[in-house]
Structure 1
Amino acid sequence: MPFPTSGPQTLLESARPFLRGQLENVDVKLPSLIAVLKSVGAGECWHKHGSFLDHLVDIYRILKLWGAPDEVCLCGLFHSAYSNSYVNLAIFDPSAGRDTVRDHVGEAAERLIHLFCVVPRQQLIHDELLFRYSDESELVQHLKDSERSLSNARNGSLEIGDEIEEWRKKLQSILPANGIVLKHIKTGEDVHMSRKVVATFLLMTIADFSDQLFSFQDVLFDNSDGMLKFSGNDWATALWPGDGKPGLWMNSISRMGAIYTLIVREEQLYSIEQPQSQSANNRDDELELVIPPILENCTKILSAKDQIEARDLYWGGVCDASKRGLNGCEELLKRSLEKNPFVGEPHVVLGQIYLSQGRFEEAEKEAEEGLRLLLEWGSPWDKRMSWEGWISWCRVLVMKAKEKSWPETSWGILNLGLVR
């Protein structure tokens, strides 16, 4: 189901337990689950943008804010706990620890966790899905056609010709209704995955990438074209953490999001066409698929070219204020948002510029839009600061814009902080 459109205040209410550390208000078991992860050393493991524990909690938060079901959120919280095809992070023994994990999160979540850790995820997400839709114009057309197909089916007028059905033919050839079979990464045994589980892992990969990727990985894999093909191998020159620029990952996950939307729509059509009593076995019909709010409910694709230009314009605007002046930075940030309207940080920086110029209504508008987008993502695009830090700064800007005031001294800026 699509994520409902909400304003910043509604989104903030959902995020507030995470911002205040009141995790028991999210799930009464969550603090104890995090304590378990701490006890087995998750906080001591390095992971891309921080510790493994930080990453696990971040993924849980993102999925929860997107409205994912509990078993999917819990899978996110333990998602690489047995290690997987990407990382060496077996904080639980995959041969002896499954009962332990199952006791903590339940059978449904542990099954997803185990599957996530034993399937070749690079092959699944990229070879079997993403690279099968290398033509972005085709993917855009399939999004349009699938929306029409679903509308017709819901209205009971399933008069669909070959042209509009082409999207279904391709998707069904890649992901049949009864799922796919991949090889276990260690044993080589067949592992069956239903279409809904594949979609769930695609959703989790979107959350996973959005939380951890920044310019360090672009250098590591020579992602200069922004397509995130993992084809480079610059292991010697990728010095962590690098310059901290936003990474070039949004084109890739926007295509993932579009494919995810196609799978969700195909599943919805399947449920209309096939009575529940006739449903095939092992389809995980009880697993709910939700569409996150990012990228206009995963219906927009950001081109690699626009992604690169937007990032570079933002970087020039946010880092070179002393050289360019505020008017020059404003121009760069506005151009950045024309190229990539899907991230919040350029709006936030614009909000501060407008506050310093006494343009309070414009500042409020930009800060609230930045706040909305950051809350929808559940993670920052510019990872030099934490998500919580960006959210709190946005709220300061919104508050000061409403008050129509802004400090005119350096000490005044340092004095900011309290948010009402």
Structure 2
Amino acid sequence: MSALPAFAPPDDALFQRAQSLLDDEWLAHDADLAPVLPMVLARGVGQDWHKAGTFRHHLVGVARSLALWGQPRDVRLLGLLHSVYGNAFVDLVKFDAASERGRLQALVGESAEHLVYLFCTMSRAQFVQKVLAGELQADGSLVVEKNGPAPRQTVHLAPYEVAAFTIVSMADTIEQWFSWQDDIYSRFPAVDPSRPQAVHWAASLWPGPMRPTARMVSQIAALGLALQHPGLRGQLPLPPVFDHCSQGLTAQDEAAATALYWSVIQLAQPLVDLDGATATLEQAVRLNPWVGEPQMVLAQLYLSAGRAHDAACAARGALQAFSAWGNAWDKRVQWDAWIAWTRILLQSAEEGGWPARLDKLNNVALKG
């Protein structure tokens, strides 16, 4: 038997923060965000399509990650409102930047509205390109173009704004990105505009096979590493992902890990015994230890093989990863559902029991 992957130890404080956000009503208890939500909902965001769900799901999901990451009020409000003036990525304009800035300022304050306005009106693709290319100035500031026809105006972002926009970009990406966007929005932030939809109709069918992204987690890691810039470090709390933004992930390792994981999910492994699938998932976890779903599935395989101790280690590692993100990587089910099943696996591993009959899996429940 080969050595197990290195599963991250649990962070109890982080898990407790995650638990407080599992309830769908968490936003109603947030004194900073709750007063804003009714106005946003009144603009129909619960009915607008957005990637893997509705626009409401997206805005709330981004805000949830930022809350989990301990971000201050203005940044969490930016997460909840980050597209309401529209932007170059989506045509969803919920507030008219020409006439309604004062209304939003009265609701959230000038500093938060200023961040929302800048984030919506700057070129976000150029922002990501420049941050990834290490083009920050010595003090952490950055000059980017605004959206619109050429010649475009530029805006000078202060270090705090760069840090805030980098962190919100990380949360924005993990909330929405899956294989459908990998296909139709390929090579982001340098999007490939050459592929006509009629020719590539198969890639355009929404939501597609719902594979996890094979390329964007490594980009999120690179954005996190940019927060280590001397001018940005200390501006805002570092997100807990990638060991508090201190570790990277190569694009090659991410792509390979996603392919290995998906081969198990699609049962493209020998089905007579668990060895092939288990070894495949172990390698996926070694290549990308930063997402929870491969570790969670591995925990169930260990339980099925009677390896309770190994299952507990994998389940704890999965919970730690889920608790660091606040959103699911594999978007076939929601973040809270991944955590709920992982806790069942951990409970079963610690108690030394797992259903021997297939139908009994339908009856498992968390105790206490």
TM-score (norm 1): 0.78
Matched, 1:310 2:257: yes
**Which gives a bigger RCO, structure 1 or 2 (Cα 8 Å, sep 6+)?**
2
Task: Give, in angstroms, the shift of residue 43 of structure 1.
Answer: 0.8
- Counterpart in 2 of 1:202? 166
Task: Please give the secondary structure, in 2, of the residue aligned with 1:67.
Answer: coil
- Name the amino acid aligned to 1:317: V
Q: Secondary structure at the match of 1:42?
A: coil
Counterpart in 2 of 1:266? Answer: 231
Structure 1 residue 216 and structure 2 residue 180: aligned?
Answer: yes
Q: Which residue of 2 aligns with 1:184?
A: 146
Aligned to 1:102: 105
The offset of 1:120, in angstroms, is: 0.9
Question: What SS does the corresponding residue of 1:182 show, helix, strand or coil?
Answer: strand
Question: In structure 2, what is the equivalent of residue 382 of structure 1?
Answer: 330
Quote the RMSD (CA, aligned, Å): 2.3
Choose from 122, 131, 138 the match for 1:129: 131
- Output aligned runs, 1:17-32, within 5 Å: 17-23=20-26, 26-32=29-35
Answer whether contact 2:291 2:322 (CA < 8 A) is retained.
yes
- Per the alignment, in what secondary structure is the counterpart of residue 122 of structure 1? helix
SS of the aligned residue for 2:281 comes to helix
Residue range with higher mean Cα deviation, 58-67 or 245-254: 245-254
Q: Distance in 2 between matches of 1:408 and 1:199?
A: 50
Aligned length: 352
The answer (yes or no) to whether the contact 2:69–2:240 under 8 Å persists in 1 is yes
Aligned residue number for residue 250 of structure 1? 217
357 and 242 in structure 1: CA distance in 2 versus 1, 3 angstrom threshold: same
Percent of aligned positions that are identical: 33
Secondary structure of 2:274's aligned partner: helix
Contact 1:364/1:398 (8 A) holds in 2: yes
- Shift, 1:118, TM fit: 0.9
TM-score (structure 2 length as normaliser): 0.88
Superposed CA deviations along residues 137-172 of structure 1, whole A, max 9, x for unmatched, are: xxxxxxxxxxxxxxxxxxxxxxxxxxxxxxxxxx6x
Structure 2 vs 1, CA of residues 299 and 29 (structure 1 numbering), >3 Å: closer, same or farther?
Answer: closer
Q: Which residue does 1:281 correspond to in 2?
A: none
2:84, 2:122 → 1: CA distance?
14
Q: Which amino acid aligns with 1:266?
A: G
C-alpha spacing 1:235/1:371, structure 2 compared with 1 (3 Å) = farther
Shift of 1:106: 1.9
Query: Is this contact kept in 2: 1:219–1:234, CA < 8 A?
Result: no
Measured after TM superposition, the shift of residue 129 of structure 1 is 2.4
CA positional deviation for 1:194? 0.7
2 CA distance for matches of 1:69 and 1:87? Answer: 26
What is aligned with 2:4? none
Q: Which structure 2 segments of 5+ residues have no match?
A: 1-7
> Mind listing any 5+ residue stretches in structure 1 that lack a counterpart?
134-170, 272-287
Residues 351 and 321 (structure 1), Cα distance of their counterparts in 2 relative to 1, 3 Å cut: farther
More helix by share: 1
Residue in structure 2 matched with residue 140 of structure 1 by the alignment:
none
Query: What is the identity, as a one-letter code, of the residue corresponding to 1:354?
Result: Y
Equivalent residue letter for 2:222: R
What are the superposed Cα offsets for residues 5-29 of structure 1, whole Å, 9 maximum, x if unpaired?
9835322221223212342675225
Matched, 1:364 2:312: yes
Shift, 1:228, TM fit: 6.0
1-side partners of 2:94 and 2:280: how far apart?
45
2:351 is the counterpart of 1:398: no
Matching of residues 102-121 of structure 1 within 5 Å: 102-121=105-124
* Residue equivalent to 1:85: 88
